[in-house]
Amino acid sequence: MSRLVLKAGKEKSLLRRHPWIYASAVARVEGSPASGATVEVRSADGRFLAWAAYSAASTIRARAWSFSEAERVDGGLLKQRVRSAVQRREPMAAESNALRLVFGEADGLPGLIVDRYADQLVTQFQSAGADAWRDELIGSLTEATGCSNIYDRSDGATRAREGLPEISGVLRGADPPTQIEVVEHGLRFLVDVRRGHKTGYYIDQRGNRRAARALAESHVERSGRGPRCLNCFCYTGGFSIAMLAGGAGLVHSIDSSADALRLAAEHVTLNQLSPDRARWEDADVFTALRALKAQGEQFDIIVLDPPKFASSHHHVDRAARAYKDINLNALRLLAPGGSLLTFSCSGAIDVDLFQKIVAGAVIDSGAEAWMVARLGAGEDHPLMMTVPESEYLKGLHLVRVA
């Protein structure tokens, strides 16, 4: 068994059960561990700290599997963790048949992401450790879920940082259909797991789409009319469909992908909603928000769900300017009493910084606004309290009061 020995004082995060060991914390490597191999981690004074998966290429030099010296890292342990992760999410199937079944560190499986779309599993092996146990994990997933079709989307930038090639394709069973129909809170959506964003769909926003629908329904009850809604970076229209189902009088949706907008329009028909209440715009959101203001438009509900603006801490300043810009211009379009649901999925932008950015936009807009709720990913994306970095999706619900 190879060993990582840490520099003096660098054991503190592991003692708090944070599973990441950065290269800068390692004093020496004893042995010649292969990428993904299990290594023993010890402090400078020789204390056992963890069993971890080694990655020579990554700045995260190792990811802890276990903090118990007596626990054996083998196929049996991983099988038990996969089974537990799947079982914890069984009650959520009542909301949707599109669920995240495994969420990396939160399920004791660092670097492994597994999403379920009906009877299709989609995997992402994002760490050297998960990749080394690929065959065992695939078998465990099939056994735990009963799904015989598994498609791999290990094609993200995280793989390159681990020194792994980007790959995608069938791991088990049949090639997935071009579109898989899923149901979410009674609404139907089509998902392309081979080419869609992430693993095909933004499962993490399920609860927030339901909240947007509830806002539309509440507006109808209060005012007797359907709200005018704006959905920016709409992708395939998840929030748009939810607000239309809630009785929105108009949903104006903006995205720069014509293909995504075509599928979004299909979702209107699929859910038997009125196409007359849906307006689709193929445009850059930054430009479109200014144009809508110049046209004198105003909206009762606005959703800002942009892609990741900061892929690392090196891009935080640029991302902060982008987040402020879209929030500032959205607030200028928001009617008094209206709601803004604004999000960031940039892991490098923490909750406090995101709130400060949005507060700056509120100040510069001249609007008065309350923050009535913090928003985040659904229950199937739990936050491991010892790994605050895993809270990648942050959201705020603002209400304009003047």
Task: State if pTM tops 0.75.
Answer: yes
- Mean pLDDT value across the chain: 96
Asked whether the predicted pLDDT for residue 282 surpasses 80, the reply is yes
Q: Say which residues have a Cβ less than 8 Å from residue 394's Cβ, sequence separation at least 6.
A: 343, 344, 345, 349, 350, 351, 354, 374, 375, 376
Which pLDDT score is estimated for 27?
A: 98
Q: Do both 350 and 296 map to the same domain?
A: yes
What CATH number does residue 98 fall under? 3.30.750.80
Q: Above pLDDT 70, what percent of the chain? A: 100
Q: Do both 169 and 35 map to the same domain?
A: no
CB 236 within 8 A of CB 189: yes
Q: Do both 118 and 98 map to the same domain?
A: yes
Q: Above pLDDT 90, what percent of the chain? A: 95
* Cα–Cα nearest to 324, from 342, 350, 338: 342
Question: pLDDT digit string (tens) for 22-33?
Answer: 999 999 999 999
- What is the arithmetic mean of pLDDT over 361-372? 97
Tell me the pLDDT band of 87, cut-offs 50, 70 and 90: very high
Q: Look up residue 240 and give its two tokens.
A: 């748009």
Tell me the pLDDT band of 347, cut-offs 50, 70 and 90: confident
Which pLDDT score is estimated for 314?
A: 79
Tell me the pLDDT band of 315, cut-offs 50, 70 and 90: confident
- Taking the C-alpha atoms of residue 237 and residue 318, their distance in angstroms, rounded to an integer, is 27
Nearest-Å Rg of the Cα atoms of the chain is 23
Q: Do both 253 and 338 map to the same domain?
A: yes
The CB density around residue 287, as the number of other CB atoms within 10 Å, is 12
Which pLDDT score is estimated for 156?
A: 82
- Burial of 124-152, coded b for 16+ CB within 10 Å and e otherwise, reads bbbbbbbbbbbebbbebbbebbebebbbb
Residue 234 annotated in active site:
no
**230 lies in some domain:** yes
- Taking the C-alpha atoms of residue 237 and residue 284, their distance in angstroms, rounded to an integer, is 16
- What is the arithmetic mean of pLDDT over 219-243? 98
What CATH number does residue 282 fall under? 3.40.50.150
**196 lies in some domain:** no
Q: Do both 359 and 247 map to the same domain?
A: yes
Which pLDDT score is estimated for 130?
A: 98
Number of domains making up the chain: 3
- What is the arithmetic mean of pLDDT over 82-90? 98
* Cα–Cα nearest to 341, from 366, 379, 373, 367: 373
- What is the arithmetic mean of pLDDT over 257-262? 97
Tell me, letter by letter, the H, E, C secondary structure of the chain: CCEEEECCCCCHHHHCCCCEEEHHHEEEEECCCCCCCEEEEECCCCCEEEEEEECCCCCEEEEEEECCCCCCCCHHHHHHHHHHHHHHCHHHHHCECEEEEEEHHHHCCCCEEEEEECCEEEEEECCHHHHHCHHHHHHHHHHHHCCCEEEEEECCHHHHHCCCCCEEEEEECCCCCCCEEEEECCEEEEECCCCCCCCCCCHHHHHHHHHHHHHHHHHHHHHCCCCEEEEECCCCCHHHHHHHHCCCCEEEEEECCHHHHHHHHHHHHHCCCCHHHEEEEECCHHHHHHHHHHCCCCEEEEEECCCCCCCCHHHHHHHHHHHHHHHHHHHHHEEEEEEEEEEECCCCCCHHHHHHHHHHHHHHHCCCEEEEEEEECCCCCCCCCCCHHHCCCEEEEEEECC
Asked whether the predicted pLDDT for residue 375 surpasses 90, the reply is yes
What CATH number does residue 48 fall under? 2.30.130.10
Q: Do both 271 and 386 map to the same domain?
A: yes
Its sign, for the CA torsion 206, 370, 293, 349, is negative
Which pLDDT score is estimated for 311?
A: 74
Q: Do both 219 and 356 map to the same domain?
A: yes
**351 lies in some domain:** yes
**373 lies in some domain:** yes
Of the residues 125, 159, 189, which one is the last residue of a structural domain? 189
Which pLDDT score is estimated for 313?
A: 78
Sequence-distant contacts of 382-387: CB under 8 A, at least 24 apart: 382/103, 382/106, 383/106, 384/105, 384/106, 386/16, 386/17, 386/18, 386/19, 387/18, 387/19, 387/20, 387/105, 387/106
Q: Look up residue 115 and give its two tokens.
A: 């999403």
Question: pLDDT digit string (tens) for 109-163?
Answer: 999 999 999 999 999 999 999 999 999 999 999 999 999 999 999 998 889 999 9
Tell me the pLDDT band of 402, cut-offs 50, 70 and 90: confident
Tell me the pLDDT band of 5, cut-offs 50, 70 and 90: very high
Kindly name the residue from 229, 232, 234, 345 that is annotated as catalytic: 345
Q: Do both 126 and 259 map to the same domain?
A: no
Q: Do both 61 and 79 map to the same domain?
A: no
Domain, as residue range, for 302: 203-400
The CB density around residue 160, as the number of other CB atoms within 10 Å, is 12
- What is the arithmetic mean of pLDDT over 238-260? 98
Q: Which amino acid is at 90?
A: E
Q: Do both 54 and 112 map to the same domain?
A: no
